[in-house]
Amino acid sequence: MTSILSITDSSQLTEFCTVILPTIWTLNISKSRQFIQKVLKATQISCTCILVALYYIHRLRSAYPHIDLSIGSEIRLFTTALILANKYLEDSTFTNKTWSSVSGIPIKELNRMEAEFLSALDYNICISQHQFYQWTMQCQQLWSLFLMPVTQKRSLEEEEEVYYYQKKSRSSNSQILCKPILSWSSSVSALAASRIMNTYY
């Protein structure tokens, strides 16, 4: 399987984002696909930068698990995360004026969102090599599941279903012990995705 870090095509990077984002936050990414591709194509942001941006969103979600995003806010969330990742990783970065031009979001609003995002992360946007490696492997597994042939996906889903009901039958109070915690947008089961997302966190 090709490493996600080697992906450079904006269309494939867009697909990658639409696969990973719903596993972090319950978002209607299908309506944002065109926007994501437009931004990635215009900025030529690397996959490394995208991975760091997704990690920031993951941290934000972990810190505020009960917050639901309104329709359209996923665009602002993703753009702000990209801005922070770009500034953290690159010596020569895009200005917020450029990001405003590319995204169509007013610069004053971008500045405010950036400040709020930073505050929510306690002004700590550092990511260690170990954290980046673990996060990359996590995303790689999810991406591999997405690319898996349909027949293999069905086999995996059947295996997960058996596992799910075996766990349920062991519960003395008949409560579901392995309730899926993620919204998975492809045909791969939410339980399979949740296993991966909980591997390191």
Per DSSP, the residues of 1-30 read: ---GGG---HHHHHHHHHHHHHHHS---GG
Mean confidence (pLDDT) of the chain? 78
- Record the pTM: 0.73
> What's the pLDDT at 23?
87
Looking at the predicted structure, is the pLDDT value of residue 34 above 50? yes
End-to-end C-alpha distance for the chain, whole angstroms: 24
Looking at the predicted structure, is the pLDDT value of residue 195 above 50? no
More confident residue, 116 or 71: 116
- 11 contacts 30 by C-beta, under 8 angstroms: no
> What's the pLDDT at 191?
40
Averaged pLDDT, 130-155: 81
Max CA distance (Å), the chain: 59
- pLDDT digit string, tens, across residues 81-98: 999 999 999 888 899 999
The percent of residues above 90 in pLDDT, for the chain, comes to 50
CATH number, span 4-136: 1.10.472.10
Distance separating alpha carbons of residues 58 and 125, to the nearest angstrom: 12
> What's the pLDDT at 198?
45
The percent of residues above 70 in pLDDT, for the chain, comes to 69
Averaged pLDDT, 188-194: 40
Cα 36 to the chain's mean position, in Å? 12
Distance separating alpha carbons of residues 40 and 72, to the nearest angstrom: 18
pLDDT band at 164 (very low <50, low <70, confident <90, very high): low
Angle between helices 96-103 and 33-43 in degrees, nearest 10: 140
